Amino acid sequence: MSIEVIQIITKKQISAWHQFSRDLYRRDKFFISHIDQDIESIFTPSKNSAFDSGDAQRWLAVKSGKYVGRIAAFFSHKTKQSGLGFFDCENNQDVANSLFDTGINWLKERGFERVEAPINFGERDKYWGLLVKGFDSPSYQENYNFPYYQHLYETYGFRVCIEQTTSIGNPNLFDISKYERFCNRLKINNQYRVEHYSHNNSEKYVSDFVTIYNDAWQHHAHFVPFTVERIRVLFKEMKLIIREEYLVFLYNGDIPIGFYLSIIELNQLFKHVNGNMNWWGKLKFYYHLKTQKITKIRGIIFGVTQAYQNKGLYALMIMDVYNSMMNDPHIHSSELAWIGDFNPKMHALFKNLNAIPSKVHYTYEKLL
């Protein structure tokens, strides 16, 4: 039977594009659906600044009148990057090839000669990489897929360009004495101090976050600076999942020099929602938010400004988060996500913390 790949245009097709994944994984006990509204914001120009210098498109694969796969493709002229993402497919190489061909041809027509997959049309801290190890604990806004996807990608010709590791940190396994001594030495004759984010003083911390991030990450590949407006909106959207004691800022006097952001692991709540935050989904979400004890936080971004790197100052923030976890009777662990193989310093840090690797994602590339 022939495979037809159709471009997504209508609201009915968009709904089918979302529903396909839930149908595909309906017998997988570990699967937790992404939230439709989160994904739609990525493909809405008014909500995603990546459209300012790029574009995105989505498709569904149809075989014998049945949906058998989906994919998206996108590009940014600002970052000179093109990618495929949100790929889901039956275990059928012909279907996968048809979807990959469609997305890649669309990108080639727009002048791109290299593609990464699976990636996000936006921030790297979400929907990035193919899961190849650790299929039993999908996290919020993290790619989850069947193990056979690796064969589909690599048979098509994709090659690994980044290995991303996620680890689990248990405060009871943390060698606290070593870090206490080091932190005490740092504080002697210095003005280093740690502050917690405050929703009531959000403008100050939004500004400090942007200052730190844009300095700390400026030399990384595909760096795109944050704006105060973007982070203001982001923090507003994340208000329910940011606990003030787990968004830590580091200062030298009044100079902002570092931050460490952890959020509560929302998939412990979203597993009850089935992927749609409509009115019924919101009711279920808020009910479980009020009645269920979250047991895990997820560290999603960490940064220290250039002038203060290589001084071990991260230890001050880690100690503070450790103390917050020890004072929280419900939080048992922190997921430390995701660290690329290009960042040996963070891997060494996690090893020193006795963090245990729990998941591995691959980012693939292919020359066109």
Segment 246-295, tens digit of pLDDT: 999 999 999 999 999 998 898 999 999 989 999 899 999 889 988 888 99
Is the Cβ–Cβ distance between 227 and 281 less than 8 Å?
no
Rounded to two decimals, the pTM is: 0.90
Superfamily of domain 3-166: Gcn5-related N-acetyltransferase (GNAT) (3.40.630.30)
| Confidence at residue 324, expressed as pLDDT on a 0 to 100 scale | 92
| Spatial separation of the C-alpha atoms in residues 61 and 113, rounded to whole Å | 24
Q: pLDDT tens for residues 18-57?
A: 999 999 999 999 999 999 999 999 999 999 989 999 999 9
- Domain 3-166 and domain 171-331 have a common topology: yes
Mean pLDDT by 10 residues, the chain (368 residues): 92 97 96 96 93 96 96 94 97 98 97 96 91 95 97 98 92 79 81 93 95 89 83 86 92 94 90 91 89 89 90 87 90 86 80 88 96
| Confidence at residue 299, expressed as pLDDT on a 0 to 100 scale | 87
| Confidence at residue 5, expressed as pLDDT on a 0 to 100 scale | 97
* Residue closest to 299 by CA, chosen among 224, 233, 349, 226: 349
Write out the CATH class of domain 171-331. alpha beta
| Spatial separation of the C-alpha atoms in residues 280 and 342, rounded to whole Å | 43
| Confidence at residue 319, expressed as pLDDT on a 0 to 100 scale | 87
Is the Cβ–Cβ distance between 110 and 75 less than 8 Å?
yes
Is the Cβ–Cβ distance between 240 and 248 less than 8 Å?
no
| Spatial separation of the C-alpha atoms in residues 65 and 62, rounded to whole Å | 6
| Confidence at residue 43, expressed as pLDDT on a 0 to 100 scale | 97
| Spatial separation of the C-alpha atoms in residues 269 and 109, rounded to whole Å | 42
| Confidence at residue 78, expressed as pLDDT on a 0 to 100 scale | 87
| Confidence at residue 222, expressed as pLDDT on a 0 to 100 scale | 66
Domains of the chain, residue spans: 3-166, 171-331
Those residues whose C-beta lies under 8 Å from the C-beta of residue 46, and which sit 6 or more positions away, are none
Instruction: With residue 182 as reference, give the H or E element that holds it.
Output: helix 176-187
In order of 238, 245, 318, 321, 358, the CA distances from 171 in angstroms are 25, 15, 10, 9, 16
| Confidence at residue 79, expressed as pLDDT on a 0 to 100 scale | 86
